[in-house]
Structure 1
Amino acid sequence: MTTALDLPAEIDDVRAARDSLPAISRIVGVGTAVAGTRISQPELLDVLGVENPKVRSVFLNSAIERRHLTLPPLNADGARRPESQGDLLDKHTALAVEMGAQALEACLKSAGASLSDLRHLCCVTSTGFLTPGLSALIIRELGIDRHCGRADIVGMGCNAGLNALNVVSGWSAAHPGELAVVLCTEACSAAYALDGTMRTAVVNSLFGDGAAALALRADGPDTDTVDVPQGPRVLKFASLIITEALDAMRYDWDRDLGRFSFFLDPDIPYVVGAHAEIVVDRLLVGTGLRRADIGHWLVHSGGKKVIDAVVINLGLSRYDVRHTTGVLRDHGNVSSGSVLFSYERLVAEDVARPGEYGVLMTMGPGSTIETALVQW
């Protein structure tokens, strides 16, 4: 395990001790963005003309107060016009680029950097498919150096923010002093089906549009970090694929509707909760840490039942998941970017102190749980 250094009195000694260690990636900035219309759950039910009591109950008991959505245009009769898969892909492209560009610029500002400082961009999305990828479109949109390294992670779902963090933290450690960004941009409005079924009602009650970005940099020999506030170091990752629940969260082609349709098994919160201890214990093995030593928990805002299941199985308090529930309340589930929205709130709260540890946890299709250990 890599532990925090006790700073010697002499700055030169601090630099010498730091430079003798392998490069470890640090989170140095965060930014988020939303698009579309901010709408409450009751307002959305009225807009969509939902009268089925069971469907209304799903919306109103979701622990979500409001979300940002880009709804389909109105027909002449005032009803929402059905969108073809082509329309939805166009929506995904437009929203993903718009929100992604805003989140990236906010993240770089948070890091005290500019677009010209960016050396690697990894874009994450599951709400549409693009070739060339979203990273290429963002680079063109913002005029980023065309030599900027890039990668696209597509279709991994809500857990993918940590999959990307794992990859980019490795890139950062291999390129000390250079700036890399993880950008999650999810136009969940582009994955909606307005067909009145309970299957789609569960999805439509939960997801919102949003983008979030994290900036990473590994300290290098020429990086002066003494007396400069630093974000947490990324220490370790652990993953778990629950293979027996592989089909519990999936994106299927609906032949009747001629479009993709998302499916969530009603039992998935309990499946995820039952496996949360396994992957967290694996994350902490060999570190000398116990769960009680973790000062900050950032859990994916997957839904009320998912959060409750994780809280119960890990023995967490409601205070531990205050940012998780706050993001769900204010934005709904914004898929891969949810945990980064929570991290932004933790940064704004300014309660993390040097030496403290945090665990980030995401869940998604597979069914998969991803975790990361960080230290301030």
Structure 2
Amino acid sequence: MTATVKLLSLATATPPHDLAQDDVFEVAHQIFIDRFPEFVRMGPVFDHAGVRHRQIARPVEWYLQPHGWADRAAVYDEVALDLFCRAAEGALAEAGLTGADIDAIVTVSTTGVSTPSLEAKAMTRLGFRSDAARAPLFGVGCAGGATGLALAYRLAKAQPGAKVLLVCVELCSLAFHMEELSKTDIISTAIFGDGAAACVLSSEDGAQGFATVAASAEHTWAGTLGVMGWQVRDAGLGVLLDQALPPFVRREIRPVVEAMLARQGLRLEDVDRFICHPGGMKVIEALEGALGLGQGALDHEREVLADHGNMSSPTVLFILDRARRTGLPKRSVLTAMGPGFTASTVTLEAA
């Protein structure tokens, strides 16, 4: 008999330093105006990004000083680990579990490097068992919320009765650099924030959750390695982001999603709600157009983008959290895109 996997809980966490978009613009103006003349022309991106606030790992003054790999790694170790633990503790508490109940931990993070990985560093604080399986994922970027959820689902499904913890944590702000400036740096400054999200999945008989994970799928386009990723700079990781992403989404995403659904015996019309990683405002609009959702349909996506910015992998789980609190429809499809260039989907059925 095939195991049924339930989503038991979901929790989010953000760092304490809240920054309004107007303040981000003022700081960016000070930084960019003399060193990057094109900033005057690109300044309106801050108004059109759809971001009102975002939370970041350090006070804004920290980012105005030069920092190398060691400084950035130290902040990642401290702040990412704290966010990991806070999000995980929230998810465990909602599920009525402790760390000792968890059989496997999936950690998703692409904005910092930590070896041992975050779940190993959190083992004592969260009380994970010594025999818990660990699966850290690096390099999946903005797709990580869906990709990580899909992996957690497969791990739970493969071991009936298992309880799997997924934690996505990203510190996108650490990719801001004073040393080298580009158009991508300006766009990144306008949209990215920091945050974490965690959820618990279980294939235990009789498990009660807010949704059943029905299926997952993934598609990687050939010849698209340059669409999104990291540039390794002397001072740390820097964002690689193709500005032609919205047209790509508008052109490519529908047939891929249709093919993913077809393998599950579904059509677009069978999906009551798409839960999408927003990327940015133009990507939201491209998704609405490509999937025939109607302008404004991705309301939770706009709200999360406005309140937190694009946090990379946790963002789609923030959106899922809002969607479940207002009531999930019968069938929803969670989807996110990231480096590869890859689209990942997870099909959910409401409890």
- Both structures adopt the same fold (TM-score exceeding 0.5): yes
**2:18 is aligned with 1:38:** yes
Asked if structure 2 preserves the Cα contact closer than 8 Å seen for 1:159 and 1:369, the reply is: yes
- Deviation per CA, 1:111-170, whole angstroms, max 9, x where unpaired? 222223222111000011111111101213333222222110012111022222222111
The aligned counterpart of 2:290 is 313
Of residues 142, 160, 165, the one that matches 1:158 is: 142
Are 1:92 and 1:128, in contact at CA under 8 Å, matched by a contact in 2? yes
Aligned residues: 342
Residue in structure 2 matching 1:212, options 192, 197, 206: 197
Match of 2:122 in 1: 138
Contact 2:17 2:59 in 1 (8 A): no
What is the SS of the residue equivalent to 2:185? helix
- The one-letter code matched in structure 2 to 1:294 is V
Pairing 1:233-252 to 2, within 5 Å after superposition: 233-252=212-231
**2:339 matched residue in structure 1:** 365
What stretches of structure 1 of length at least 5 have no aligned partner?
Answer: 1-20
How far 1:53 moved relative to its partner?
2.2
Matches within 5 A, 1:240-319: 240-254=219-233, 257-319=234-296
Distance 2:219 2:61 in 1: 43
> How large is the RMSD of aligned CA atoms in angstroms?
2.0
Which structure 1 residue ranges, 4+ long, deviate > 6 Å from structure 2? none
Cα distance in 2 for partners of 1:68, 1:209 equals: 6
Q: Which amino acid aligns with 1:66?
A: H
- In the alignment, what sits opposite 1:70? 57
- TM-score normalised per structure 1: 0.86
Change (3 A) 1:55 1:146: farther
In structure 2, distance between residues paired with 1:246 and 1:74: 34
Q: Secondary structure at the residue paired with 2:51? A: coil
Counterpart contact for 1:135–1:150, Cα < 8 Å: yes
CA shift, 1:278, in A, is: 2.0
- Tell me if 1:58 matches 2:45: yes
**Is contact 2:98–2:126 with CA below 8 Å preserved after alignment?**
no
Report the 3-state secondary structure (helix = DSSP H, G, I; strand = E; otherwise coil) of the residue aligned with 1:240: strand
Query: Distance between the aligned counterparts of 1:70 and 1:56, measured in 2?
Result: 24
Match of 2:55, SS?
A: strand
Q: CA deviation at 1:106?
A: 0.9
1:235-283 deviation per Cα after TM superposition (whole angstroms, max 9, x unaligned):
22222212222111120123xx543211111101211232211221122
Q: Distance between the aligned counterparts of 2:321 and 2:183, measured in 1? A: 33
Q: What percentage of residue pairs aligned between the two structures are identical?
A: 28
Q: 2:93 aligns with which of 85, 91, 109?
A: 109
Deviations 1:290-339 (A, max 9, x none): 21221121000211111111110110134531111111111111101111
Provide the residue aligned with 1:168 in structure 2: 152
The answer on whether the counterparts of 1:164 and 1:182 sit within 8 Å (CA) in structure 2 is: yes
CA distance in 2, matches of 1:238, 1:340: 17
Q: SS in structure 2 opposite 1:182?
A: strand
Q: Greater CA radius of gyration, 1 or 2? A: 1
2:36 matched to which residue of 1?
Answer: none
**Alignment partners' CA distance in 2, 1:55 and 1:106:** 40
TM-score by length of 2: 0.91
Shift of 1:72: 6.2
**Is 1:332 the equivalent of 2:309?**
yes
